[in-house]
Amino acid sequence: MIPSDHFVRFYNEVFKVLDELGSNHLEEYWRELGRLQSLELSQRFRDGGLQACYDYWANIVHEENCEADVELTADYFECRMRRCPSLSKVQDNDAGAFERYCDHCMAWVEPVMQAAGLYAVMDMQSRSEPHCVFRVYRDPESARDFENAAKLLSKPYDRMEVAGC
């Protein structure tokens, strides 16, 4: 049994193997995760809006041992991750971290939010430090403003070059 505690290290190896076949293989896998997560979550976020996002991530912060602050404003929901348990574990790993590891998060969040009619922006800030800022907006213009101010945007399907490490 792969312990649930070690799932992200398994995930990290899956990313590496698929990426070795070509980045399109990895992105197809991420799209499948996004499709499955959309089935589970998009209606909830469409119906409940930013409050539903807040409720969902407040629970995730607890369940996944995140050191993070979640905030709900009139304009957006924000999850400010101070110590991401996922990247931290992947870095505390004799196998080493996959360089685009952080992108898997936005890879499922983006399709879920698109299906829910919301706009997600992920500022990874760094690929090597386990902190980031993630926001969800109702208004696309506001989302674009936050995107423009981001230090290191996660755009998993844009074939962006790995930078900012």
Partner 1 sequence: MRGINRMRYRETGQVHMDFHRTTNGTIAYLRRQYGQEMVDTVLRRMARDVYRAIRSDLMAGNPESLVEHWTCFLEREGGEHSVERDGDSIRVVVQRCPAASYLQGRGVALDAAFRRQTTVLNSALAEGTPFEVITEVLDDTRYIETVRRRRP
Positions in the binding site for partner 1 (CB under 8 A): 1-11, 13-14, 16-17, 28-29, 32-33, 36, 62-65, 92-96
CB of 77 to partner 1, least distance (A): 21
CB of 101 to partner 1, least distance (A): 14
CB of 25 to partner 1, least distance (A): 8
Closest to partner 1 by CB, 28 vs 71, is 28
Beta carbons of 15 and 101 less than 8 angstroms apart: yes
Provide the 8-state DSSP code for 159. T
Q: How far apart are CA 69 and CA 57, in angstroms?
A: 10
CB of 52 to partner 1, least distance (A): 18
Closest to partner 1 by CB, 2 vs 149, is 2
Please state at what angle helix 23-63 crosses helix 103-116, rounded to 10 degrees: 80
Closest to partner 1 by CB, 23 vs 73, is 23
Q: Side by side, which strands form the sheet with 119-123?
A: 67-72, 76-83, 132-137, 119-123
